[in-house]
């Protein structure tokens, strides 16, 4: 079975690329993984370029094709790999729509503040219109606090599907990214790696 996971959220800085890279690195330990970067900023493609300089890490395939060939490219990459992770640009347009349409699961990272939650609305509408399953993923979440509680309460009030596992604000994510790696590779025993594995486990449960 091959799986397409699209990371989408129209707000920049939400953690899309960080989540995509770390999931790809963790999955690549056991599976044939490809990443598709359709954000013109090409951060994930640059991460992949840094990874090419690392020895002894599992290979991950990369494409950065977008535009009118995107749907065919997703199809081609899906067939050649176990998992395809698509990182999308910070706006809702035709490329993001095609990436959501092709997804078995759409992940929507959101930082725990009201404007960040509001910013998910366009992406969630796309996922609903395309009838694709989606999950919010709280990113850079403090361990506790009124802001996190307020955002979690609002997510529950709207009955939005979310992962229970959350990612904290951990410098390890940026450090690993700068090397073309994931936190499960740079610091497998860190809290960040444990959080990432918990997120991954829930994702796999949601797909099966
Ligand atoms: N959980 C986290 N902990 C610490 N820093 C994070 C975390 N998630 C993202 N960041 C940082 O936030 C910035 C934006 O993240 P990025 O993944 O590029 O967002 P997006 O792709 O949605 O624009 C980057 O500098 C990244 O290192
Ligand atoms: Mg990005």
Phi (first) and psi of residue 72, to 5 degrees: -65, -35
Question: In this predicted model, what pLDDT tens digit does every residue of 18-51 receive, in sequence order?
Answer: 999 999 999 999 999 999 999 999 999 999 999 9
- Distance, CA 15 to ligand 2 centroid (Å)? 7
- What atom of ligand 1 comes closest to residue 109's alpha carbon? 22
Mean predicted lDDT score pLDDT of the chain: 97
Distances (CA, A) of 23 to 4, 15, 39, 153, 189: 12, 12, 17, 27, 16
Residue 144: how many other CB atoms lie within 10 Å: 8
| Mean pLDDT on 168-178 | 98
- Distance, CA 52 to ligand 2 centroid (Å)? 19
Question: In this predicted model, what pLDDT tens digit does every residue of 72-123 receive, in sequence order?
Answer: 999 999 999 999 999 999 988 899 999 999 999 999 999 999 999 999 999 9
Whether pLDDT at 1 is above 80 = no
Q: Per-residue DSSP letters for 29-77? A: TTS-EEEEE--TT-HHHHHHHHHTT-SS---EEEE---GGGHHHHHHHH
pTM of the model: 0.98
pLDDT at 56: 94
Output the ligand 1 site: residues, CB below 6 A.
Answer: 12-18, 43, 90, 139-140, 167, 169-170, 173-174, 177
Q: What percent of the chain has pLDDT over 70?
A: 100
3-207: which CATH topology? Rossmann fold (3.40.50)
- Distance, CA 143 to ligand 1 centroid (Å)? 17
Whether pLDDT at 166 is above 80 = yes
- What atom of ligand 1 comes closest to residue 139's alpha carbon? 1
Extents of the domains making up the chain:
3-207
| Mean pLDDT on 140-159 | 96
CA distance 158 to 188: 35
Instruction: Tokens for 19, please give them.
Output: 């989540």
- What atom of ligand 1 comes closest to residue 169's alpha carbon? 3
């Amino acid at each position: 079975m091959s799986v397409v996971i699209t990371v989408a959220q129209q707000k920049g800085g939400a953690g899309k690329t960080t989540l995509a890279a770390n999931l790809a690195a963790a999955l690549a330990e056991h599976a044939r993984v490809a990443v598709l970067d359709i954000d013109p900023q090409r951060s994930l493609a640059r991460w992949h370029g840094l990874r090419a300089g690392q020895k002894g890490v599992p290979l991950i395939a990369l494409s950065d094709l977008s535009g009118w060939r995107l749907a065919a490219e997703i199809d081609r990459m899906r067939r050649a790999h176990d998992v395809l992770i698509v990182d999308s640009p910070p706006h809702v347009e035709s490329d993001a729509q095609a990436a959501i349409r092709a997804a078995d699961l759409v992940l929507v990272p959101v930082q725990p503040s009201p404007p960040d939650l509001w910013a998910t609305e366009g992406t969630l509408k796309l996922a609903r219109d395309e009838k694709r399953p989606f999950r919010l993923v709280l990113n850079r979440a403090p361990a506790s606090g009124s802001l996190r509680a307020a955002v979690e309460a609002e997510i529950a009030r709207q009955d939005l599907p979310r992962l229970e596992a959350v990612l904290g604000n951990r410098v390890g994510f940026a450090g690993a990214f700068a090397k073309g790696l994931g936190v499960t590779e740079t610091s497998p025993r860190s809290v960040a790696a444990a959080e990432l594995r918990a997120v991954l486990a829930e994702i796999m449960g949601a797909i099966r």
